[in-house]
């Protein structure tokens, strides 16, 4: 699917738009680029507040980089026989404590993609549990950080 079509689909499905035409980040921001694909048949939409403290500046806190990142998909095989037995429960409990049971199982089953920051968090839990080997996710997918 072409980038323009992806943005148009997001525009039709309620993604938050931004119309800060003088923003120095607009050509690299998902909120602005998706907003440019909005249909003229919609009467209402969700939009970034143009009066919010840093909207339209180089330090915009709502900026979403229009660049694909590498999401991990699934962790059904992340624990292996070479790992000490304490690793699996420590990692599982740490993830559940931080994110909740639902997210843990969705990450594990691959029904929720694992963003780069959470991948690093998972690697950190493995290190804390004493595992310094590779942490191998089931697969990877590239997508935008919406």
Q: What are the CA-CA distances from residue 29 to residues 19, 50, 51, 102, 112 (Å)?
A: 11, 15, 18, 30, 24
The pLDDT of residue 40: 85
Residues 62 and 55: beta-carbon distance below 8 Å: yes
Q: Name residue, tokens 């920051």.
A: 117
Condensed to tens digits (0 to 9), the pLDDT of residues 14-33 reads 899 999 999 999 999 999 99
The pLDDT of residue 1: 64
User: Is the per-residue pLDDT at 4 higher than 80?
Assistant: no
Residue extents of the structural domains in the chain: 1-66, 69-143
Condensed to tens digits (0 to 9), the pLDDT of residues 67-121 reads 999 999 999 999 988 999 999 999 999 999 999 999 999 999 999 999 999 999 9
Tokens of 87: 């690793």
Q: How far apart are CA 36 and CA 66, in angstroms?
A: 13
CA dihedral 112, 27, 40, 145 (to 10 degrees): 0
Average confidence score pLDDT of the chain: 93
Other C-beta atoms closer than 10 Å to the C-beta of 35 total 22
Provide CB contacts within 8 A for 110, sequence distance 6+.
Answer: 73, 74, 75, 76, 138, 139
């Amino acid at each position: 699917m072409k980038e323009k079509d992806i943005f148009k689909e997001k525009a039709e499905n309620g993604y938050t738009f931004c119309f800060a035409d003088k923003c120095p980040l607009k050509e690299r921001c998902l909120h602005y680029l998706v907003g440019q694909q909005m249909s003229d048949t919609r009467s209402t939409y969700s939009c970034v507040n143009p009066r919010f403290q840093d909207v339209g500046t180089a330090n915009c806190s709502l900026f979403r980089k229009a660049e694909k990142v590498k999401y991990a998909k699934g962790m059904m095989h992340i624990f292996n026989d070479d790992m000490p037995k304490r690793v699996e429960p420590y990692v599982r409990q740490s993830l559940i404590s931080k994110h909740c049971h639902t997210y843990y199982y969705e990450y594990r089953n691959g029904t929720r993609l694992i963003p780069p920051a959470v991948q690093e968090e998972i690697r950190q839990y493995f290190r804390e549990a004493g595992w310094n080997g590779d942490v191998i996710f089931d697969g990877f997918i590239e997508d935008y950080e919406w």
